[in-house]
Structure 1
Amino acid sequence: MNATASTAPQLRLLLQRHALLAFFGLTFALSWSIWGLQSLLADADPISAGWLGIVAAYGPTLAAIALAGLLAPEQQASASPRRQRWLAGAVLAGTVWLNITVVSNPLESTRPAVAALLWLVITLLPAWIVWNVFSRRRGVRDLLRTLAAWRAPPIWYLVALLLPVIISLLGLALLALLGQPLPPWPRTEPMRELLPLLVTTFVATLLYGGPLGEEAGWRGFALPRLQAHHSPLVASLLLSVVWGLWHVPLHLQGVYHGIFPDGLPGILLRIVITIPTTVLFTWFFNRTKGNLWLVVLLHTAVNNTAGFWLPVTVGVYAAMFIMTVTLIITDRMWRLRPPEHATVHAYSHIT
């Protein structure tokens, strides 16, 4: 027991010194290993394979929660237990509704027991993360607390939900100004069918399309530590490379076939395109004082806009580039942020 007791502080000190490397390593290990299992199951049990892919997308957030708890395991009094139960219960009700009405039936799987277990996992996982917003562990609570910070100025809700739409429309306008043909509209449903579809897709994207599973990791855990030693611009460039590489298994599975070129060119193009998105997310995270809830909404809007109900075009990439340069210049993102604005949690002063 003495040996165990002496090992824990040493392990914590090692993690503090190399928190970013530990986070990136654990994130890749979790996501890539599960995506590997998904590939093995893809032909034999596509339903279970699809749900494994959802679990894999939660790798960054799960890694961040695990490390945050190890770095600052001090126990605090339970905060707002009533609000904790209410929020987690609301999320659980939403995932149950979504998975019953939209997601495949586990009994249709060739391995119904496995599929039922994975259905239960993806149903409980979002509610478990919200439950941990009020965790008794100081590190976990500090990491996730802004996931419940929805009382933000309305302007930031408008930016999160409408900016991706504005960028897409500006991209189409650029094509029209240059006399280029406009691509076909992705959606052909009548408006009375399209609006409910947009709402359902938005919720599904938020829960299962990456935002909730990634943002506590990329922006909540990694970005503050990067910005503790680098400017927002350099931090964004570094994070964009890691974020882009994290998607490699999906490229190898052909998920982005038709969107990106196959093989290495597609992976490199993904990293290049990830740069302006990361700069945007960094700017938004800093401007909203590290509000993860708003960043999750922005991530959802980006994923839900591009290719689902607005077309992805060269004009969109051009508009993103213009926006990126504008944000860098107007926000002077090449300068280090003052320590009081670094949005780094108390336990994360060593990276």
Structure 2
Amino acid sequence: MSAINEWTRRNRLIAFFALTFLLSWWPWPFYALGAVPTAFFACGPLVAALVVIGVAEGRHGYRDLGARMIRWRVGWVWWCVAIGTPLAVMALAATANVTVWGAPAPVLADVSWGALAVALAVRFVNPLDGPLGEEPGWRGYALPLLQVDRTPLAAGLVLAPAVALWHLPLVATGQLAPIALVVTVAITLVYVWLFNRTGGSALMTMVFHIAQGTGYAVFGFGGADAARMDWLTGALWCALAIALIGLDRAAWRRAPTSAVAASPAKTPIPVYHPEG
């Protein structure tokens, strides 16, 4: 066991990625045979992070991850960004879908807002769903490790294809459109930007994920109109990622210290204090 612990300490990223894919993908072949009801477990990144931390870091690692997951004092502007950006992308795509392609206009009065609020709250605490199943792993654990010896842009370009590939079972089983893999690459870069601009707050990326994953089913789109929304929102996310890289270059050169992983030996992550 000491040899396994030592190898894991030296190769935390490899161990995390390997375990994430193993835990998430193991049902896929059994699903194809009709033996299990799902092809994919979204909680793979969460469980992988907890296991690797337990083997390689111990209590201080859990403390660091926990600090990122509850880092809420980032300034009200960033709360607005985390919630408002995904909603704005959805609203712009829906507007284009209606005005340019003639999709039926959503009737917001018909939306069950109470049920939607409950669904969003459940996503906050359900480890089998994307936000809680993914964010502690991808952003709370893997991204700070990647940024130890990489710029945020380089770290994002490593993380983005890994996250996209991780979704492959959902595409293969028809639960996601193939375009989602390309969009995931772009949106992962947006997550990197938000994580670093909020001083390493995985809480903000989780809030962002919940808002982004609300889905345009709430607008009542179906059939070709819903498929078109995949392309419209995808184009907007790609455009936003490119704009952030081009317009906020400082954010991609160096991550804040609070968004970089500590040594596995004993050093805790610094506390982030938002400006103002």
- 1:32-181 superposed matches below 5 A: 32-38=25-31, 49=37, 56-73=41-58, 137-173=59-95, 180-181=100-101
Distance 1:31 1:188, change over 3 A: same
2:193 match: 283
Distance 1:332 1:138, change over 3 A: same
- 1:286-305 superposed matches below 5 A: 286-305=196-215
Asked if 2 retains the 8 angstrom alpha-carbon contact of 1:227 and 1:336, the reply is: no
1:241 match: 161
Asked if 2 retains the 8 angstrom alpha-carbon contact of 1:240 and 1:275, the reply is: yes
Counterpart residue identity of residue 344, structure 1: A
In structure 2, C-alpha distance between the alignment counterparts of 1:333 and 1:274, rounded to whole Å: 23
- With 297-306 and 307-316 compared, the bigger mean Cα shift is at 307-316
Counterpart residue identity of residue 199, structure 2: K
How many residue pairs get aligned? The number is: 257
Gaps of 5+ in 1: 1-6, 74-136, 261-265
* Structure 1 residue 41 displacement after superposition: 5.4
Asked if 1 retains the 8 angstrom alpha-carbon contact of 2:193 and 2:251, the reply is: no
1:101 match: none
1:226 match: 146
Q: What secondary structure is seen at the aligned counterpart in 2 of 1:150?
A: coil
* Structure 1 residue 202 displacement after superposition: 1.3
Q: What secondary structure is seen at the aligned counterpart in 1 of 2:213?
A: helix
Counterpart residue identity of residue 20, structure 1: L
* Structure 1 residue 36 displacement after superposition: 4.3
In structure 2, C-alpha distance between the alignment counterparts of 1:338 and 1:292, rounded to whole Å: 14
Counterpart of 1:194 (choices 109, 112, 130) is: 112
Counterpart of 1:318 (choices 235, 241, 249) is: 235
1:18 and 2:11 correspond: yes
Asked if 2 retains the 8 angstrom alpha-carbon contact of 1:160 and 1:297, the reply is: yes
* Structure 1 residue 153 displacement after superposition: 2.1
Distance 1:139 1:286, change over 3 A: same
Asked if 2 retains the 8 angstrom alpha-carbon contact of 1:276 and 1:324, the reply is: yes
Distance 1:255 1:314, change over 3 A: closer
In structure 1, C-alpha distance between the alignment counterparts of 2:255 and 2:42, rounded to whole Å: 33
1:28 and 2:13 correspond: no
Counterpart residue identity of residue 101, structure 2: P
1:343 match: 260
Q: Show structure 1 runs of 4+ deviating over 6 A.
A: none
Asked if 1 retains the 8 angstrom alpha-carbon contact of 2:93 and 2:233, the reply is: yes
In structure 1, C-alpha distance between the alignment counterparts of 2:60 and 2:121, rounded to whole Å: 29
Q: What secondary structure is seen at the aligned counterpart in 2 of 1:255?
A: coil
Asked if 2 retains the 8 angstrom alpha-carbon contact of 1:236 and 1:278, the reply is: yes
Distance 1:307 1:239, change over 3 A: farther
In structure 1, C-alpha distance between the alignment counterparts of 2:252 and 2:4, rounded to whole Å: 33
Asked if 1 retains the 8 angstrom alpha-carbon contact of 2:97 and 2:103, the reply is: no
Residue identity over aligned pairs, in percent, reads: 31
Distance 1:225 1:40, change over 3 A: same
RMSD of aligned Cα (Å): 2.9
Task: Encode CA deviations 1:300-322: one digit per residue, 9 max, x unaligned.
Answer: 11111444448625332332232
Asked if 1 retains the 8 angstrom alpha-carbon contact of 2:180 and 2:234, the reply is: no
In structure 2, C-alpha distance between the alignment counterparts of 1:160 and 1:62, rounded to whole Å: 25
* Structure 1 residue 213 displacement after superposition: 0.5
Q: What secondary structure is seen at the aligned counterpart in 1 of 2:261?
A: coil
Larger radius of gyration: 1
In structure 2, C-alpha distance between the alignment counterparts of 1:39 and 1:202, rounded to whole Å: 31
1:270 match: 180
* Structure 1 residue 343 displacement after superposition: 2.1
Distance 1:253 1:338, change over 3 A: closer
Gaps of 5+ in 2: 267-276
1:203 match: 121
